[in-house]
Every structure is written in structure tokens, then in C-alpha cells.
Amino acid sequence: MADVKTGEPLLSVKDLTVSFKTKKGMAAAVRGVSFDLAAGESMAIVGESGSGKSVSSLALLGLLPRSAEITGSAVFRGEELIGMSDKKLQSLRGRKIAMIFQDPMTAFNPLFTIGDQIAEAMEVHGLASGKEALSKSADLLEMVGVPEPGRRIHQYPHEFSGGMRQRAMIAMAIANKPDLLIADEPTTALDVTIQAQVMEVLADIRGETGAAMILITHDLGLVAGSAERVQVMYGGRVFERGTIRSIFYDPRNPYTQGLLSSMPRVDNESDRLVPIVGTPPSLLAMPAGCAFGPRCQYRGEVCGERPAELAEVGIDHASRCHKGAEIPRWSEVSA
């Protein structure tokens, strides 16, 4: 869990909340998220639209618009990120923490070559410059499996295919050997065979650099093959967290169980899916009590009254549910 030398986690998030002022009132996107991430560890944050999975990491990096109100604490290598000056954040972003976004087309500037942009990522942090930076960007492209890197550094983003652009973004993200990679739906825009390539590149790169990773995704399948721990978010809160095995083989929260039973699987035939009724709540109209309550088959009176606490249900495994003890185990549900 913790750094061998200091005993401190790489990133420690405590009670993070994010709200947005809107014309229709305050929208609470993240409502009290806490977690620790050890150096080199890989954690996934899973959730559907509006669950707050992306907003929480954008908040850490100071990438949210000014209308966002952020409270709580996020300590990265001993430094508090929340409330940190823009200048200081800039020196961290792209240096110690790097982000990989879903859409690499909008993340690159269309007017500069890929090589120049990767080189710039090194230059702004004073880690390389000029010809050296450019030749390093070619090395980085080679590392992420872009063929003919010496030629491709002189090309513009539109000359790269979607998969190649995503590789180039990974190259840019690892240019400064960050300690933490935040990958926000890194393969959602890609075809499945290209997704497999990109996930393989990410795994190889992490093997080489030892970077920790937060993988943000809606795809539980993707998580199963690429993370050690998982947080399942719903309505701005963590509903369940645990090791990858506990989440997939012994999910205790009705929402996690519902997500798993909603998924058609490529590796077996099922007659009928078991969906969750209803739709995810709007941020502006969160149900009173448990956010999942109105869709939950186990709801009781207490569920409409107050939100449940995240409670330990096993070793490194916690679930947020009033009815914890009454929820059938997954082995019974899925049989």
C-alpha cells in the first residue's frame, strides 16, 4: 500500500467534494471521495455517466472550470493539491502526474507536429530542449509502438489514426517519467483490436517506468484485465471498493451486482440479461438518502432517509449499503 521509504501513499485523497454552480442550483458531482494509492499501483474507477468518476481526477489536477467548488484534501508526494497555486500545479502536471484523455484529437494542437508537441512537454519542464527533445520524442514514439518514429515525429495529428494518436498521447504522458498516470477512458473511442494494442502498451510502459495508474472507465471488462484495485462510483460517491478479485467474484453492493448482471459477455451464452431498473440520477435531482435507492431491489425505509456509510465488509473491501447484511452473495445471485 505504501512507499517503502516513507511509509506514505503516493496519493492520498480525503473527503473530496466537487460541486458546480448551475442556473438550476448546485450540482454535487463528487460527494466525499477518499482513497489511497501506493506508488506503482494500478487502480480503476468505474461508473456510468454522471457518477463523478472523471470529475474527481480533473479536480485533483486543477483542470475544472472556476465555477467548480472543491473541498477536501488530496496529498500527492506530501504536497496538498487542493488549493495549490496554478503555477505550482503546472509544474506538477505533465511532470509528476500526467493525464491521458479519451479523445486524442482534441488533446493535440492540430497546428503543430506530434514531435514538437511531445518535445514541448519536456521543454516546459526544462528536462530536455531543442534537437535532444525531438530525438527523445522519437524514442518515446518507438516505445509506444509507433512505426517509423523518425518520420512520424514530423507529422501532424490528423495524419495519425485514432490508435496511433492515442499511442502518441501516451508517449507525451510518459515523456517526463511521471509517478502517476491518470487515464480517463483511454480506449473508449477506439476499435476493440486497437483497444487491445493500447492497453498492452499501457501495461508495458507501466512495467518499464513503474508509474502508478488511475484508470477511469465505464467498462468493467477492461478493468478486469488491467487494475489491481477498483472503486465503483455512483451518484458522486464510492459505492464499493476492493481488490479486483473481491469486486468481480464477491461484489457486495447491489449496484455492483446489478452492473455485472447487466453485462452481456462474449465468453458465454445467456438467455436473458438482468438489468437495473430506471436510469442513473441527475446531479440536480439526487434522490434523498441512498442515491441508488430508487433503483434498488433491496431498498427499505432507511434507504430513503439518509445515505449509507462506506463500511468494511472484508479485507481491503468496503461497500456502501444500509442493507449490507441482507444482500445475497454474488455466488447465489449469479447462479
Judged by beta carbon, residue 17 or residue 42, the one nearer other proteins is: 42
129 binds other proteins (CB under 8 A): no
Cell numbers describing residue 307: 445515505
Closest contact distance (angstroms) between CB of 103 and other proteins is: 14
Judged by beta carbon, residue 117 or residue 187, the one nearer other proteins is: 187
Cell numbers describing residue 165: 494518436
Closest contact distance (angstroms) between CB of 147 and other proteins is: 8
Closest contact distance (angstroms) between CB of 284 and other proteins is: 13
Query: Site for other proteins (CB under 8 A): how many residues?
Result: 47
Judged by beta carbon, residue 72 or residue 294, the one nearer other proteins is: 294
In order of 47, 49, 260, 330, 333, the CA distances from 249 in angstroms are 18, 24, 10, 7, 11
List binders of other proteins among 280-299 (CB under 8 A). 280, 295
How many CA atoms, within 13 angstroms, populate the side-chain half-sphere of residue 49? 4
Closest contact distance (angstroms) between CB of 277 and other proteins is: 8
Query: Would you give the DSSP letter of residue 290?
Result: -
* Helices 114-123 + 130-143 axis angle, to 10: 110
Judged by beta carbon, residue 82 or residue 263, the one nearer other proteins is: 263
Find all residues with CB under 8 Å of 279, minimum gap 6, and list them. Answer: 295
Type of residue found at 257: Q
Closest contact distance (angstroms) between CB of 43 and other proteins is: 14
Closest contact distance (angstroms) between CB of 54 and other proteins is: 14
CA proximity to 104, closest of 117, 95, 122: 117
List binders of other proteins among 219-278 (CB under 8 A). 219-225, 244-245, 248-249, 258-267, 269-270, 272-277
Distance between CA 109 and CA 106 in Å, rounded? Answer: 7
CA proximity to 223, closest of 257, 251, 199: 199
Cell numbers describing residue 177: 517519467
329 binds other proteins (CB under 8 A): no
Type of residue found at 192: V
2 binds other proteins (CB under 8 A): no
Judged by beta carbon, residue 40 or residue 280, the one nearer other proteins is: 280
What order of strands is seen across the sheet that includes strand 237-243? 97-100, 180-184, 212-217, 42-46, 229-234, 237-243, 317-320, 310-314
Judged by beta carbon, residue 107 or residue 222, the one nearer other proteins is: 222
331 binds other proteins (CB under 8 A): no
List binders of other proteins among 142-161 (CB under 8 A). 161
10 Å Cβ neighbour count for 91? 15
Distance between CA 14 and CA 34 in Å, rounded? Answer: 4
For residues 31 and 79, is the Cβ–Cβ distance under 8 A?
no
1 binds other proteins (CB under 8 A): no
CA proximity to 286, closest of 6, 26, 1: 26
Among 14, 32, 36, 48, binds other proteins (CB under 8 A): 48
List binders of other proteins among 200-219 (CB under 8 A). 200, 218-219
Closest contact distance (angstroms) between CB of 270 and other proteins is: 7
Per-residue mark of binding to other proteins, 168-187 (x: CB under 8 A): --------------------
Contacting residues toward other proteins, per CB under 8 A? 48-49, 161-164, 191-197, 200, 218-225, 244-245, 248-249, 258-267, 269-270, 272-277, 279-280, 295
